[in-house]
Each structure stands twice: as structure tokens, then as C-alpha cells.
Structure 1
């Protein structure tokens, strides 16, 4: 049974953000979908999840 790329504990991830400020976990190797940009990472899964959960009401970074 293979892991989903979103569940790989050894994978490298980024946090994506959209114009509305929503964030999501995304595999670092995958293309960034239209309408999204990298807000954090690449980093380990726990660090990316911490970024998403730390301040869900904070607007996503505009620096990327």
C-alpha cells in the first residue's frame, strides 16, 4: 500500500496560499496550481502543518 503524497512523513512540503488567504499543504515536488502561490517552505510536513494551524486567521504572506 503506497502513501498519499500528502501523508508521507518523510516528504518535503510547501504551504500554498490563494488570494483569499486560504492555505493548504502541498508536496514540494508538485506543480503549484493556478491561483495559488508558495507561502512557506519547502520544509518537513510537521513544520508546514504548524504554519497552517498557527494563525489560520492571519493573511497569507505577500512576499512570494
Structure 2
């Protein structure tokens, strides 16, 4: 995947442990916090693919395991 826009991104995560990327030069949207990974878009997306192995929101996982 090519990083044609030349922007830096950061990996963000919400309270439900769902991941996304967000432009590094913008403030974070409400309910999201920086996870610690920053860089080109492709690097951030590759990181998310490695760490976000269960796409279900945290509340659903907890409910199903109870």
C-alpha cells in the first residue's frame, strides 16, 4: 500500500478497544486516545492488523464470556 498523502498518522483506540487511525496533526475525537504507534498510514494499519485480533467491542466480549 502506498502512502501517497505524505501525512503522519497515529493509532487510536476507544473505550470499547476498537482501533482506528487519525491524522497526527489533528486533535483526537472525543472518546478516543492515542495508543502510542505513529507513522505513515500503512505502518499504522499494519500495526492495527497485528494487534486487533478480535473485532468485537469489549462490552460484547465481556458479555459473552460471563
Matched, 1:52 2:48: yes
Aligned twin of 1:62: none
Structure with more helix by fraction: 2
State the 1:8 CA deviation. 4.7
State the 1:57 CA deviation. 2.7
Aligned twin of 1:31: 27
Contact 1:40 1:48 in 2 (8 A): no
Structure with more strand by fraction: 1
Provide the aligned C-alpha RMSD in A. Answer: 1.9
Could you list the runs of 5+ residues in structure 1 that have no partner in the other structure?
A: 1-6, 59-64
Number of residue equivalences: 52
Matched, 1:19 2:19: no
